[in-house]
Amino acid sequence: MIPKKIKQKVAEGETHWLKRRSFAQKAAKIIKKHFGKLVGLKLLDAGCAEGREVLELTKVGINAEGIDYNKDLILKGKKYFPGIKIKYGNVEKLPYKNKTFDVVLCISTLFYTNPEKSLPEIERVLKKGGIGIITLDTKIIDLEKNKKIHKMDVPKALKLLTNSEIISKEYKQRVDRTPFRHKHCYYEIVFRKIK
């Protein structure tokens, strides 16, 4: 999990989620490949920040909503994208009933959480046959200080998804420049809930 002082720096700084290329188009392709459709599916963006993906996925007919732990980002999202369904909440304790969503999207979020709580929660709110599209960072490096600020044992974390099967796992790297230069080394993972 990311240290508290870095979480604070991210919360206070200029957001970089709106400047980064949206993941919505890629998510829509994955969803369409799995379900054969987009319209009418129920999706949760867990860790939605300002809600850009919620907006874009809603435009293609998905019944999308988002949740984020950062109240300021939720307020900004409601200002930037009026009418989208986003609210404050915690990925470690999702305020939804079991088997609510066809898809849970959780991109660049899980390193802020305890995966022992958040991954089972994501799985819990998925319907049987539903898919999770997540990123798990193996490490995040502060490039200004050449210091590792986060690490995760991804195979161990994936074992927390006890009712699911992994469909795909792709290794990626990305450098973000705000609120400080840092590098993410991560996996994009798609899993299907089977029980």
pTM of the model: 0.90
Mapped to the 3 state alphabet, what secondary structure does the chain carry?
CCCHHHHHHHHHCCCCCCCCCCCHHHHHHHHHHHHCCCCCCEEEEECCCCCHHHHHHHHCCCEEEEEECCHHHHHHHHHHCCCCCEEECECCECCCCCCCEEEEEECCCHHHCCHHHHHHHHHHHEEEEEEEEEEEEEEEEECCCCEEEEECCHHHHHCCCCCEEEEEEEEEEEEECCCCCEEEEEEEEEEEECC
Give me the residue spans of the domains in the chain.
4-193
**Would you place residue 80 in the very low, low, confident or very high pLDDT band (cuts 50, 70, 90)?**
very high
CA angle at residue 64 from 59 to 70, to 5 degrees?
115
Output the pLDDT for position 10: 55
Model pLDDT, residue 16: 54
More reliable by pLDDT, 178 or 132: 132
Summarize the confidence of residues 16-23 as an average pLDDT.
63
Q: Which residue has the tokens 């890629």?
A: 26
Which class in CATH covers the domain with range 4-193? alpha beta
Percent share of the chain, pLDDT over 90: 84
Encode pLDDT of 88-105 as tens digits: 999 999 999 999 999 999
pLDDT digit string (tens) for 103-139? 999 999 999 999 999 999 999 999 999 999 999 999 9
Averaged pLDDT, 17-34: 84
